[in-house]
Every structure is written in C-alpha cells, then in structure tokens.
Structure 1
Amino acid sequence: MPSGQQARAQASAITPGKPGSPSADPEPSPMDRVLALFGGHRLSPAQRRIAQYMTDHLTEAAFLSITDLAERVGVSQPSVTRFASSLGFSGFPALREALQPIALSAVAGSPDTREEIRRNELQVAIDAEIDNLASLRRVLADPNQVLAIGRELARSVPLTILGLRISVSLAEYFAYAARRIHPDVRLVTRGGSVAYDALLQSREAGGTWLLAFAMPRHANETLAALRAARRTGLSVALITDLTMGPLVEAADVTLTAGTGSRLVFDSYAAPVVMSAAVLQAMADAEPERTQTRLEGYEQVAEQHDFFLEE
C-alpha cells in the first residue's frame, strides 16, 4: 500500500505536465482529481457514504481527523480506515495527504466547487451506466447465447427465478413479466432451507432450469442456493455483474451485465436490459403460447379494470 509520499505522488500523477510541454493536457478540475482517487474501486455502501461526504465537503473533510470524519459521516473509525485501505492507501492519514492539495486548489477556484462536484458526481454515475449499456450492446451483437437460454427457460415448466437480498427486486421484475408469457413461474426470495425446499419441489414438478440473479454485495446464501439447485438436478442460468468466481462456477450459463457503483447503492440499468432481452428470447421461443397468454391477460386486465386509461 502507498506510504504518505506515494499517496502524494498518486494524487499528483493525475496532474498534467507544465503548460507548453509536448505532453501537457488541460488541467483537471478538483472534481476530476477526487473522482480519480475514489473511482475504480468496489466500495461497500458504508464506504460510499464516506466517499460521498468527502466529495461533497472536500475543502473541510481533507483536514479532519479520523475521529471527526467518522462522527460526521456516522460510521466507526475502523470503517474510515478500511475505506482508505480499499483505495490502496496505507491508512487514513495517507489518504488525507492525497486529498489536501486537491482541497486547497478547490478553495482557490470557484466558490461553487462543492456544488459542481456534487452535481457532476451524479452525471458521472450516469456516464458509468451508459458505459455499462454500451458494453452490453457489444455483447448482444451476437445474441445466440441469450436466444439459447431463452429457449431453455421457456421450455422449463415450472421455471424457478431466484433473487436474494439486494437481488430480490430484479428477480421480482423478471418473474412478474415472465408470468405473462409462461404458464408456471415460481419465485424464490428467501435462502437457506426455504430455498432448497422450493428448488426440490420445482425439480420434482418437472422443472429443468433455475434463473438466478446475483448482484453486489454477493451473498453466501445465493452461492449455497445455486449449488443446491445443481444437486437437485436443475440447470442454472445466472445474471450477474461477475465474469469469474464461485458464483459463476456454480452456474451452467452466466450472462454478465455491469452494475453502476458510483452512488451509495448500486444501479442496475444493464442487468435490467439483460433481463428484458432474456424475456424477449423466451417470448420468441414459444410465439403461439406467448400470443395466447398475452391476449388472455389483456382480456382479464380489461375485465377487472387493472390499469388506468391512457
């Protein structure tokens, strides 16, 4: 991990050469320099709160003690230390040394620097999601894998969808939509023996596939459920942000879509689009069934007045 001198070097490494030199670039703003320090690291929600506070209150936070910073953010001092370590620093003092020259340059600049940093941090988060979507677009240039897994999921009756902890919302979205085009969709949102029981019942009823969602922070109980599914005889398709690791190894097919990690909690633009693509593949795999079920649902929705008139 970098020492105090190395931390200062890391901060200055993103400062361009002197004006007039052949390699000189436009001088980055304080916001750009802060984001360069905080970006590119997988941070927990608590650590992102620290990063957000230090970004929003840069000129003050860069000179606080670890005790004062922890108190203002509402976290423990060890959490601040772990945050600094996760960025590659030897400790909080080294991180503070790296931030202080940036804070001083912000003081010398526009009085609206803090508001600019906060505003542009949200824009940077959106830019990161745009990058995730662009990456997914490149992946889907060859749709064969998504089409193949869509066919398999469409043929699995029942079809089980699993999402635990933070991944529950994605699983619920997929299951809600899948029920419009599939005759038997079973949703599992609890781990442990409850999940294992549901997986067993699904396999005994004739199901052949489990579709699981695993988003950061990746849960041990998700890994246990994937392994349990394989033991029951179910094949496993996984939608996740990972390209390797035990979760990927526990799946038969992995569809990877990046998550946005610039804010306190992850955002899921690319996983949602990937989910919609798999749903489309399922619908296309059984066109007659899809049309019949969609028309039947529309009739029921109209009969019972499910939706507002538009």
Structure 2
Amino acid sequence: MENMDLIEHIQQKFPRMSKGQKAIATFIMENYDKAAFMTAGALGRTVGVSESTVVRFACVLGYEGYPKLQKHLQEIIKNKLTTVQRLNLMEGLEADKIIDTVLKMEINNLKTTRQDLDINMFKNVVDDLVKARRIFVIGFRSSAPLAQFLVYYLSYIFESPQLITLGTSDIYAQLVHVCHEDVVIGMGFPRYSNQTVEGLRFAKRRGAKIVTITDNKISPLYELADNCILTKSDMNSFVDSLVAPLSIINALIIMAGLARKDYLVENFSVMEQVWREKNVYAKHDFDFMHKDQQGGE
C-alpha cells in the first residue's frame, strides 16, 4: 500500500466500515492536513468516538496500529499541503511553544536520519563522485540553497562541478552533454519541484548515474536514483526543514574531500594566498588567528 494514495484507499474501504469508523474516515478525507498530526485520542474526541475505535480503524486499513497510519498519512500529504495549510499547522501557539516545537522536530529529523542512513550506500555515492568525469547538481525552489552550498564546496574538491539553474538556458540544454561517465545529483523535498524531477529523468535517459537526496521512498526522486540518500525534513509549518539535509550534505562534502585530500589541500593553499592578497576576509580575522598561533592576547 506504500505507493497507494491513502485517501483513495480509505474511500475504497468506506462502504464496509462501521458508523464510528465512517466518522473517522470522513474527518480524515475532509481535514487530512489536521488529522495527520492528531493523536488517536485527539482524533477520537474530535469525531466523537473512542480511542480504541480509532485504533481499530487503522487496523481496518491494514496497519499494525494508529502510529503507522499516522506516519503514512503524514508522508503522503506533505506534498499535497498548500503553503496556507502548512502555515495553519502552528497557528495559535505561543512563541516558546513554537520554538520548542521547531527545535524538537529538527532534533528528531537528525536522529531519524542517522538511524535510517545506509552507510554503505553513502560510501558508494562518494565513490561515484570520485570516479565521475563531471558532476552536475540540481535543486530548485527551497532546495536551491542546498544545491548552491554543495557546488560551492565541491568546486574545491573536483574540477568544475556544474549547478543547473533556471536561467536563460533551460535545464535540458544544460544537461544535453551528460553521459554514462557523469554523476547528476538531485535534491528535493515536499513539495517536490517538477523541474527537478524532469531534469533528473532527462539525465537518466542520457545514461548519467543519478544520486538523489530526498525525504522518503514515495518521493518522485527516489525511483529515479541509482543511489538515494534519505534524510528527514519534517516541519509542521510553511517552511521546509533543511537542517538534516544540510548535515548530510556536509558529511558528503567532508568524505569527498578526504578522498581527494591532495587535490583539496593544493587548491586551498592557492586560494588562501589569493584571499590574503585580495583582502577577501576581514583583516582582524587573520590578525586574531596569527595572535592565537603565537600565543598572543
């Protein structure tokens, strides 16, 4: 049932449900953005049934319990929620509650990402990058800063990684020369950008190896990937959580840098000299580091 639309599944089961189960089903179909984040007890009180009825409802749909149903509902609807619906999820909360909720979700995203991470697959991604002739990175909308950050650091580790942009040249023209020797990295989170998906699909047809960074197995980026790094991005509001994805990207950059250490050290040595000559960084930063190295105050 993983790839089935949950709302459609509920509709199919609806005629054979009890009166109480139908009340739950109706509420979920009409208010899925709220139901996905309600406990079994809260959902039961809202529709006027017992918590045990809510649990049995989940079993009728084929789940082991309500938490499994809730998790699946959250994953499926994330890409369906409009920005306004996502904004409403934290409406009415006090400032301290909003801060606590956001930080707890980010901590949970990091923990879950680490628990579920396939280390061998992660190593395979690094190997793919090291062996690639060229590297292309695609990330649009809220994922654009992640793509830019990744390309910025990869440019010190590899020769001319290319950021695919939505500029004067369309994404297909920028990818037209990719081949089986190249790696294309795509990243996307709910709501997934069609342009990212289409760019990856085009690159895959051209024979490139596809690496994706996304949130779960029902993501359209997952099915296109030769290797997919899954990282949680849950946030019950209109903003996208990029903490765990950025942490994964940092780890990827560091591992790639260590694999190409000699090349990286050579590049940084050159750039450090240029930065000093061109006063790229504020002078007191260098003064501070110099004093620190000399044991100065």
Give TM class, smaller chain. 0.5 to 0.7
Q: Residue in 2 aligned with 1:121?
A: 98
Provide closer, same or farther for how the CA distance between residues 4 and 192 of structure 1 changes in structure 2, counting only shifts above 3 A.
farther
SS state at 1:172 partner: helix
Rounded Cα–Cα distance in structure 2 between residues aligned with 1:208 and 1:156: 5
What 5-or-longer segments of structure 2 have no aligned partner? 1-9, 11-21, 28-40, 51-69, 286-297
Letter in structure 2 aligned against 1:188: I
Q: Residue in 1 aligned with 2:192?
A: 218
Q: CA RMSD in A?
A: 3.1
2:89 is the alignment partner of 1:51: yes
Q: CA deviation at 1:220?
A: 1.7
Report Cα offsets for 1:54-93 as digits up to 9, x if no partner: x31xxxxxxxxxxxxxxxxxxxxxxxxxxxxxxxxxxxxx
* 8 Å contact kept, 2:186–2:221: no
Letter in structure 2 aligned against 1:10: L
Q: CA deviation at 1:193?
A: 7.1
Aligned mate of 1:276, from 247, 250, 264: 250
Q: CA deviation at 1:267?
A: 1.5
Rounded Cα–Cα distance in structure 2 between residues aligned with 1:49 and 1:304: 45
Letter in structure 2 aligned against 1:12: R
Q: Residue in 1 aligned with 2:113?
A: 136
Q: Residue in 1 aligned with 2:123?
A: 147
2:237 is the alignment partner of 1:260: no
2:45 is the alignment partner of 1:12: yes
2:144 is the alignment partner of 1:168: yes
Q: Residue in 1 aligned with 2:60?
A: none
Q: CA deviation at 1:119?
A: 2.2
Report Cα offsets for 1:222-277 as digits up to 9, x if no partner: 21111100111211100011223432111111001011322221121100011111
Letter in structure 1 aligned against 2:139: G
SS state at 1:201 partner: coil
SS state at 1:246 partner: coil
Corresponding pairs, count: 225
- Large movers: runs of 4+ above 4 Å: 4-9
Instruction: Calculate the TM-score normalised by the size of structure 1.
Output: 0.64
Letter in structure 2 aligned against 1:45: T
What 5-or-longer segments of structure 1 have no aligned partner? 18-35, 57-113
2:219 is the alignment partner of 1:181: no
Instruction: Calculate the TM-score normalised by the size of structure 2.
Output: 0.67
Rounded Cα–Cα distance in structure 1 between residues aligned with 2:253 and 2:26: 49
Rounded Cα–Cα distance in structure 1 between residues aligned with 2:44 and 2:216: 30
Q: Residue in 2 aligned with 1:286?
A: 260
2:277 is the alignment partner of 1:299: no
Give the percent of matched residue pairs that are identical in Structure 1 and Structure 2. 24
Report Cα offsets for 1:139-161 as digits up to 9, x if no partner: 45x63222221121133232111
2:201 is the alignment partner of 1:227: yes
* 8 Å contact kept, 1:192–1:225: no
Q: CA deviation at 1:183?
A: 1.5
* 8 Å contact kept, 1:125–1:260: no
Rounded Cα–Cα distance in structure 1 between residues aligned with 2:198 and 2:25: 44
Aligned mate of 1:156, from 132, 144, 158: 132
